[in-house]
């Protein structure tokens, strides 16, 4: 429905429906900021209190640390691959391009919001000789539909939770691949606020992977523990995409 209405509104230029969905987006974001996100720490604390009573909390924390390290490492492998590709296409040094994007990376670490980091990301992309008009178009769009860091973390965290809980299915290529494809679609509609990606994925986790309430709580805790790093990867990768789009639209990059 999201795709049908989105494409339909763009094609018909319907002001009424556009205003309706824009206002609906604002309501959802306010719900997340003012209700869901403030209550998440209490929900997660209750899950950990239950695990402490069962004597499994330390095993869970050890798994948290391992997933965090693996997720951050995978984020940087993704960024290196993305900027290497962009550098090969545009003729720019990928390491210099990443260096220019570091202000966006560290701003993403602090804000945990792709949307809030847009101004910094735009300026960083311009330092990579991306045309102003292209940076100001691609970066805001990427903040809403390019959530690679968040997607990487959700898949890794979901795999870990499935291995931790004996009553869940064992993660295999056959059951994770459809989840990854469905997650790619869901991430397009995920709100660019802290925790927005994992909240958007809960329906898939429960229906496709059979997550229980306890598993969902652990999943949210795992994701929120590294949300800042996922956001930083999202916004930094937007810079590489802006370089590629600028190259294909306008030809050879300047400078």
CA distance 197 to 100: 26
CA distance 122 to 165: 42
- Per-residue pLDDT tens digits for 14-59: 888 888 888 887 887 777 677 766 776 776 677 667 666 766 556 6
Helices and strands (H, E) in the chain, number of each type: 11, 0
3-state class (DSSP) for residue 224? helix
196: pLDDT confidence band, cut at 50, 70 and 90? confident
Quick count: other Cβ atoms within 10 Å of Cβ 116? Answer: 18
241: which 2 tokens? 């995409």
Mean pLDDT score of the chain: 83
Mean pLDDT (whole number) for 217-233: 83
pLDDT at 3: 65
> Is residue 161 pLDDT above 70, yes or no?
yes
The domains of the chain are located at 46-250
CA distance 72 to 62: 16
**Quick check: pTM over 0.85?**
no
> Is residue 220 pLDDT above 90, yes or no?
no
Q: Say if domain 46-250 classifies as CATH 1.10.3860.10.
A: yes
- Per-residue pLDDT tens digits for 102-111: 999 988 887 7
């Amino acid at each position: 429905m999201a795709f049908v209405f989105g494409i339909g509104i763009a094609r018909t230029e319907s002001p009424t429906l556009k205003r309706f969905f824009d206002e609906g987006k604002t309501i959802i974001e306010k719900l997340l900021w003012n209700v869901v996100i403030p209550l998440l720490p209490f929900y997660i604390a209750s899950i950990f209190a239950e695990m402490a009573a069962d004597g499994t909390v330390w095993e869970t924390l050890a798994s948290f640390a391992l997933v965090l390290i693996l997720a951050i490492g995978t984020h940087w492998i993704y960024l290196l691959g993305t900027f290497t590709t962009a550098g090969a296409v545009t003729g720019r040094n990928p390491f210099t391009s990443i260096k220019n994007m570091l202000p966006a990376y560290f701003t993403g670490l602090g804000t945990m919001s792709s949307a809030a980091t847009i101004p910094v990301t735009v300026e960083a992309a311009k330092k990579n000789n991306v045309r102003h008009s292209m940076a100001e178009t691609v970066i805001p769009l990427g903040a809403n539909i390019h959530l690679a860091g968040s997607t990487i973390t959700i898949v890794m965290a979901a795999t870990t939770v499935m291995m931790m809980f004996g009553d869940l299915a064992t993660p295999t290529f056959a059951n994770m691949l459809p989840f990854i494809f469905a997650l790619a679609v869901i991430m397009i509609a995920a709100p660019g606020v802290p925790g927005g990606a994992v909240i958007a994925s809960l329906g898939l986790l429960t229906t496709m992977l059979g997550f229980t309430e306890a598993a969902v709580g652990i999943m949210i805790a795992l994701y929120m523990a590294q949300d800042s790093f996922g956001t930083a990867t999202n916004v930094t990768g937007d810079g590489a995409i802006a370089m590629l789009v600028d190259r294909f639209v306008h030809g050879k990059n300047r400078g």
